[in-house]
């Protein structure tokens, strides 16, 4: 059989990139192919955007459980077994995830404030996402996975565009005003959710990375124009949020792209980033200097010191009650309290100890290194770049060690599960 040049296949298509037999068709497990794809596109449109527009995070999580996570958890194993896929090629890539999840759940037994139901919910969501992706990879529906990402980032861009237009256009806010500042009631009246700017940054920054990396794979000018439009909206949105975490993550994203894959797109973005950074330094230096380092070194050291003294190996046990970090006040005799370590690695260390931290590193570092070291690195860069970008953001503002569908989802858990599950198709090929 002659080799197919996949670079000439459109990203979005009304037909699957390979002809599905009755074995490959998820309709053989209760769901017609058209309905399967419609459900998948709807699920990802909601998953990527719902935290930006639904007024309640808890309600948004319930919606995602009902629409995607529960059906995927129940049906993906049936699709996998009925379609004749092997279990071992799926379990082997899942091993780091299963070990981390198992240890996190076990640590509830020594937690002072356990919340088993929430932890089990997170475990079920991760397992559902992994099985869904593993099924698509093993079915060789790679283009469908990419198409789902395109749909997700497109809907998120529309929400961001509506927020930008509503805030700076309809409400009459000046361009110098920070996004979402002002009256919450006025924003809600326009259908705009008054977002925490940090939460909004954590949702959008990794999606910007996904879009930019996917643009390397699209063959036609139309898709490149769409990708460029989405990136412009995301860039404008991140700039007006005025979160330095997002700007640092953006800088690292561009630098990593230039170094690892190159290309005209990233060189242009690097030039724009450098020009914009210099312009901000000259015209509005307070964006860089107004808050200094925001106590980050002091917070990190205090959190590390506390865990080393109290529970260095096993941690304090998984909990969703934040343990405030106390930092000595340099201007007085008291302490300044911060809600969490503002660093995901330190959060993992606090709750799960050194054992949990090692399992957490094994969860993402080997597969990320494998993808970056591969000869086909540009082909999989759309999966690795969001994790790199998200990890940088979580260095400064990471919270929970093991949280259900939340604002940090796209910074770490989504790209990590995507990367781990992608190994399933390669394991299948090697063993066949």
Q: What is the DSSP string of 161-210?
A: HHHHHIIIIIS---TTSPTT-S-HHHHHHTT-----HHHHHHHHHHHHHH
Query: Alpha-carbon Rg of the chain, whole angstroms?
Result: 22
Instruction: Specify if 25 maps to a domain.
Output: no
- Residue 286 has a pLDDT of 64
Say what percent of the chain tops pLDDT 70: 86
Residue range 187-195: mean pLDDT, rounded: 91
Confidence band, pLDDT 50/70/90 cuts, at residue 1: very low
Instruction: Choose between 113 and 432: higher pLDDT.
Output: 113
> What pLDDT does 413 receive?
96
Residue 309 within a domain? yes
Reading the block at residue 220, the tokens are: 């036609």
- Name the phi and psi angles at 13, rounded to 5: -150, 150
Which pLDDT value is given to residue 355? 98
The SS3 assignment for 337 reads: strand
Distance of alpha carbon 154 from alpha carbon 160, whole angstroms: 10
Q: How would residue 289 be classed by pLDDT, with cut points 50, 70 and 90?
A: low
* Region 127-151 average pLDDT: 93
Specify if 385 maps to a domain.
yes
38-90 pLDDT, tens digit per residue, is 999 999 999 999 999 999 999 999 999 999 999 999 999 888 888 766 777 78
Average pLDDT of the residues in 318-326: 80
Q: Please, which pLDDT band fits residue 8 given cuts at 50, 70 and 90?
A: very low
Poorest-pLDDT segment among 191-200, 273-282, 377-386: 273-282
- Which of 19-28, 158-167, 173-182, 294-303 ranks highest by mean pLDDT? 158-167
| Residue 26 DSSP class | G
Q: With a cut of 70, say whether residue 245 has pLDDT above it.
A: yes
What's the rounded Cα separation, in Å, for the pair 192 and 188? 5
**With 80 as the cut, is the pLDDT of residue 29 above it?**
no
Query: Which pLDDT belongs to residue 427?
Result: 56
Instruction: Tell me which residue of 325, 349, 348 sits closest to 403, measured CA to CA.
Output: 348
Most confidently predicted of 49-53, 271-275, 334-338: 49-53
Residue 12 maps to a domain:
no
318/350 Cα distance (integer angstroms): 9
Two tokens, residue 322: 């934040």
List of residues 6+ apart from 23 with CB closer than 8 A: 82, 83, 84
> 336 - beta bridge partners?
327
- Confidence band of 273 (pLDDT split at 50, 70, 90): confident
When mean pLDDT is compared across 4-13, 53-62, 372-381, the lowest value belongs to 4-13
Instruction: Inform me whether the pLDDT recorded for 14 exceeds 80.
Output: no
pLDDT exceeds cutoff 60 at 4:
no
* 197-214: burial string, b at 16+ Cβ within 10 Å, e else: bbbbbbbbbbbbbbbbbb
Q: Is residue 279 scored above 50 in pLDDT? A: yes
Residue 174: pLDDT band with limits 50, 70, 90:
confident
405-417 burial, b if ≥16 CB within 10 A, otherwise e? Answer: bbbbbbbbbbbbb
Confidence tier at 287 by pLDDT (50, 70, 90)? low
What's the pLDDT tens digit per position in 217-244?
776 788 889 999 999 999 999 989 988 8
Residue 23, in any domain of the structure: no
Q: Look at 102 and 262; give whichever has higher pLDDT.
A: 102
CB 160 within 8 A of CB 233: yes
Residue 288: pLDDT band with limits 50, 70, 90 = low
pLDDT at 91 over 50: yes
Residues 368, 378: Cα–Cα separation, whole Å: 13
Domain that holds residue 37: 33-431
Residue 338: pLDDT band by 50, 70, 90 thresholds?
Answer: confident
Q: Which residue has the tokens 């990320």?
A: 368
Distance CA 414, CA 409 (A): 6
How distant is the alpha carbon of residue 292 from its chain centre?
27
Which pLDDT belongs to residue 6? 43
For residues 251-264, average pLDDT: 85
Average pLDDT of the residues in 143-166: 96
- Helices 33-53, 57-64: axis angle to 10 degrees equals 170
Q: Where are the alpha helices (DSSP H) in 261-343?
A: 264-283, 286-289, 296-310
With a pLDDT cut of 90, the percent of the chain lying above it is 53
1 in any annotated domain: no
Dihedral through CA 249, CA 251, CA 252, CA 253, nearest 10? 80
Q: What is the DSSP string of 230-264?
A: HHHHHHHHHHHHT-HHHHHHHHHHHHHHHHHT--H
pLDDT value at residue 165: 95
* CA–CA separation, 354 and 312 (whole Å): 6
Task: Using the structure block, give the residue that is written with the tokens 């790209």.
Answer: 415
| pLDDT for residue 428 is more than 60 | no
Give 61 or 326, the one with higher predicted confidence.
Answer: 61
* Alpha carbon distance 385, 84 (integer Å): 32
Q: Assess if residue 100 is contained within a domain.
A: yes
Whether 9 is covered by a domain: the verdict is no
**Residue 149: predicted pLDDT:** 97
Mean pLDDT of 265-284: 74
Q: How confident is the model at residue 18 (pLDDT cuts 50, 70, 90)?
A: very low
* Domain count of the fold of the chain: 1
Alpha-helical segments (H) within 290-412: 296-310, 344-373, 377-397
355 or 185: which leads in pLDDT: 355
Among 113, 202, 179, 168, smallest CA distance to 393 is for: 202
């Amino acid at each position: 059989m002659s080799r197919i040049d996949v670079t000439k296949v459109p990203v979005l298509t009304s037909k699957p990139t390979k002809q599905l037999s009755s074995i490959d068709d998820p309709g053989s497990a209760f769901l017609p192919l058209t309905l399967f794809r419609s459900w998948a596109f709807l699920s990802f449109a909601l998953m990527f955007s719902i935290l930006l527009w639904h007024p309640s995070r808890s309600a948004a999580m319930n919606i995602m459980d009902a629409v995607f996570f529960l059906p995927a958890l129940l049906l993906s194993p049936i699709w996998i077994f009925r379609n004749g896929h092997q279990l071992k090629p799926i379990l082997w890539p899942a091993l780091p995830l299963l070990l981390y999840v198992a240890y996190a759940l076990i640590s509830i037994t020594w937690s002072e404030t356990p919340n088993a139901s929430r932890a089990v919910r997170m475990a079920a969501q991760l397992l559902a996402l992994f099985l869904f992706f593993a099924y698509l990879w093993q079915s060789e529906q790679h283009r469908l996975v990419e198409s789902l990402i395109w749909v997700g980032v497109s809907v998120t861009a529309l929400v961001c565009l509506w927020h930008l237009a509503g805030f700076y256009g309809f409400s009459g806010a000046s361009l110098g005003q920070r996004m979402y500042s002002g009256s919450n009631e006025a924003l809600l009246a326009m259908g705009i959710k008054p977002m925490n700017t940090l939460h909004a940054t954590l949702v959008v920054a990794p999606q910007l990375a996904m879009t930019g990396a996917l643009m390397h794979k699209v063959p036609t000018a139309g898709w490149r124009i769409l990708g460029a439009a989405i990136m412009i909206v995301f860039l404008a949105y991140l700039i007006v949020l005025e979160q330095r975490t997002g700007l640092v993550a953006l800088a690292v994203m561009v630098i990593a792209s230039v170094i690892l894959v190159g290309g005209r797109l990233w060189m242009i973005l690097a030039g724009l980033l450098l020009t914009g950074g210099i312009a901000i330094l000259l015209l509005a230096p307070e964006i860089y200097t107004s808050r200094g380092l925001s106590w980050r070194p002091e917070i990190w050291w205090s959190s590390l010191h506390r865990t080393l003294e109290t529970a260095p190996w096993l941690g304090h046990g998984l909990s969703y009650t934040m343990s405030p970090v106390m930092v000595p006040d340099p201007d007085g005799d008291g302490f300044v309290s911060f809600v969490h370590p503002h660093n995901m690695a330190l959060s993992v260390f606090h709750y799960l100890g050194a054992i949990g931290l090692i399992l957490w590193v094994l969860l993402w570092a080997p597969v990320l290194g494998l993808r970056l070291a591969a000869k086909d690195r540009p082909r999989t860069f759309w999966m690795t770049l969001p994790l790199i970008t998200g990890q940088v953001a979580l260095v400064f503002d990471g919270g929970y060690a093991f949280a259900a569908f939340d604002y940090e989802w796209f910074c770490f858990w989504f790209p990590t599960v995507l990367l781990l599950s992608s190994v399933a198709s390669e394991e299948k090929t090697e063993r066949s």
